[in-house]
Copies of this chain bind each other. A is one copy, B any other.
């Protein structure tokens, strides 16, 4: 049981992608956008602890990768909506299973850590 890829391809292509979506905030953002379209400030409020700087940067990266779309309305004050693209939805669906794994096995991991630490 092992992903059947030349190792360089795994690291250089897959990991480049997973690094992006696996950074500190992207998963939280994508998950929040899974609830529907959100404005900048709504995301900032919903994702506890994220700085304006990182929210902007993460959204730009997700937009660049085609997971999130950005819509600017030419009004005052400015309004910008973010939402998942089709690709973004397929990613969230997959990320779900990993989140579910983490939730399901969190007790096992906590227990393993306690055992290891003593």
A54 an interface residue at 8 Å Cβ cutoff? Answer: no
A79 contacts partner chain B, Cβ-Cβ < 8 Å: no
Contacting pair A28 B10 (CB below 8 A)? yes
Specify the main secondary structure of chain A where it touches its partner: helix
State how many angstroms separate the Cβ of A35 from the closest Cβ of chain B. 4
CA distance A74 to B61 in the complex (A): 49
Residues of B contacting A63 with CB < 8 Å?
116
List chain A positions with a Cβ less than 8 A from chain B.
1-3, 5, 7-8, 10-11, 13-15, 17-19, 22, 24, 27-28, 31-32, 34-35, 46-49, 63-66, 87, 89-103, 105-106, 108-109, 111-113, 115-117
